[in-house]
Structure 1
């Protein structure tokens, strides 16, 4: 619900261990850097150029209409967007089909590869998870298209409905806080869990809507999806394992981490992602948040090299932690 009277334009609610009455925060965590830090980073002269085009080696996928039985199939769309198919349900995470992740149509990060599924080739989408409101995760143009074509059930953390509702009209939107769970049908439950991040759509709404990770509990295993997070000493990974046990699959970000002095509170690096995989006891992991939109300083394939090194040092076989490319279809090994 809107909260203009409280000073929060998106949400009013009781004070909690992660909401001070106006803004959300990471308990015991680190706030994002301010304008001074942003300017220091932007003018550091250390950004590695990306190619204008970085096409995927995979053709756009045409997914099965439904997946049933013990199968769990994940198709990479790009960045943090995935189609997850399990237990007869089709789930999209942070769907972005737009050319740019920006409030503007002609400037801002532009995709360097096409979506891994053509929009018209999507199966009927049942559930859309929007982890937070940054433009590379909450793409209103895509969400509006999904509502018009599929009328899915949207799940998102507190306050984000105030942004979604004007674009999506009478959409079925469930708003959740950390620790909440919502039954999605066919034996699938969505659990909203903490991650170390922040939110903003502009200059005056920082941390006014909540950010979250999601655990997708299905009859064929649990999936831990994190759209964005800083490592934060692995606290949230350990807590997820303590609460949910092990995971058949973890979908973890590995990119947008340089310079680390500026990014570490919001984006983990590949070595931290590998530690997270171990802490949450995931049998298999998928790496995302790299290779589609240039957001930070590292080169386009630096996360891949760093992931390879981290896996070797941890003694983890590379096939257990896969950096999927757009259009790549992955049948997750059965536990």
Structure 2
């Protein structure tokens, strides 16, 4: 291998690691984020999913980078929907995609942000990393009063530290995050009120609205040496407006995480599921569903209404910008489900039910 090619591959691998689709670095050392008892998914230093596949290593990343045949993205992919200006409160359920995996959920009179990312790049730096190709579906200044913020995990396309610090200063919301992420968040503003929880635990917001943390088949990292040192999760929101199941990132696995949600909470009223960042499959399958997997997950949940995210805003992987929506249409047709039952949302697009 030529030295320049290797350096290019390693450089790209480093950026993608920091952006959220990377590889395992060295495994020794202490955990800087969390110190707690061992469990069936925490060994005292690192978290893991019970069915987690072996971590990819640097050789896998170099193999991917040197063999990439990814489809180029346009410099801009504007949403056909105008930026939303949400009402101050909603009695029922109203959901709008801000972009990628960021949502505003207005439910039972409360306003909840999930993984709010307003940055121009999903990266720890401003000069490199995946760049946003459309504006946020809600301008920061048009947000209604925010009561709570839910963080699924610490990858840069899901945890935008500067935006969270700004949200804290503007709205003083309750912030809910999996174990270890509270340490990361307070690094952006030490005054943040963060409730950190484990899988199977919950935060009661009052008036019948509860946030439940449930497993996802994913991982975490903010840098090269902290892989899986903070926990990741999906959320189930139970409220007078019904059950809403939200997954930031996950692989399908054997389907047990979806069956468990249905068994515990019943068929959700709404499921928001990722449908993008899935190619090449040999690399991405354990951590990211493709549209076919997402439709299979929907069946395991009992076929609730679904909204698709994690596509069309930041180029993280090899598929073209429109391929997830196209593949979702094919997968729905193959499963005999109507297209409106699982919408591939664009920034600013609103669903009300």
- Per-residue CA deviations over 1:18-44 (Å, capped at 9, x if unaligned) read 001110001022133111111111121
Local SS of the residue matching 2:95: strand
In structure 2, what is the equivalent of residue 27 of structure 1? Answer: 50
In structure 1, what is the equivalent of residue 189 of structure 2? Answer: 168
TM-fit CA distance, 1:168: 2.3
1:65 and 2:91 correspond = no
- Using structure 2 for the length normalisation, give the TM-score: 0.91
Kept in 1: contact 2:68–2:318 (CA 8 A): no
- Per-residue CA deviations over 1:133-160 (Å, capped at 9, x if unaligned) read 0000000011011001101000000000
1:76 and 2:97 correspond = yes
In structure 1, what is the equivalent of residue 108 of structure 2? Answer: 87
Kept in 1: contact 2:117–2:160 (CA 8 A): yes
In structure 2, what is the equivalent of residue 183 of structure 1? Answer: 204
- Per-residue CA deviations over 1:185-231 (Å, capped at 9, x if unaligned) read 23210000000000000000000000000001111110000000011
Local SS of the residue matching 1:82: strand
Match of 2:336 among 298, 304, 315: 315
Kept in 2: contact 1:79–1:291 (CA 8 A): yes
Aligned-partner Cα distance in 2 for 1:205–1:38 = 17
TM-fit CA distance, 1:282: 4.2
In structure 2, what is the equivalent of residue 53 of structure 1? Answer: 76
Select between 301-310 and 31-40 the one with higher mean Cα deviation. 31-40
Aligned-partner Cα distance in 2 for 1:251–1:28 = 22
Aligned-partner Cα distance in 1 for 2:189–2:242 = 31
Kept in 2: contact 1:102–1:136 (CA 8 A): yes
Match of 1:104 among 118, 125, 136: 125
Kept in 1: contact 2:131–2:315 (CA 8 A): yes
1:276 and 2:308 correspond = no
Kept in 2: contact 1:180–1:192 (CA 8 A): yes
Match of 2:38 among 15, 19, 23: 15
Kept in 2: contact 1:216–1:223 (CA 8 A): yes
TM-fit CA distance, 1:328: 0.9
Select between 75-84 and 276-285 the one with higher mean Cα deviation. 276-285
Aligned-partner Cα distance in 1 for 2:284–2:247 = 16
Structure 1 residues 219 and 282: CA distance shift in structure 2, 3 A: farther
Aligned-partner Cα distance in 1 for 2:335–2:220 = 32
Alignment of 1:1-335 (within 5 A): 7-68=30-91, 71-332=92-353
Specify every segment of 5 or more residues in structure 1 that has no aligned partner in the other structure, as ranges. Answer: none
Aligned-partner Cα distance in 1 for 2:51–2:111 = 36
Local SS of the residue matching 2:52: coil
Q: After TM superposition, where is structure 1 displaced by more than 2 Å over at least 4 residues in a row?
A: none
Local SS of the residue matching 1:276: helix
Aligned-partner Cα distance in 1 for 2:80–2:301 = 31
- Per-residue CA deviations over 1:235-263 (Å, capped at 9, x if unaligned) read 11111111111100000000000000000
Alignment size in residue pairs: 326
Specify every segment of 5 or more residues in structure 2 that has no aligned partner in the other structure, as ranges. Answer: 1-27
TM-fit CA distance, 1:184: 1.2
Aligned-partner Cα distance in 2 for 1:191–1:21 = 23
Aligned-partner Cα distance in 2 for 1:112–1:243 = 38
Kept in 2: contact 1:228–1:253 (CA 8 A): yes
- Using structure 1 for the length normalisation, give the TM-score: 0.96
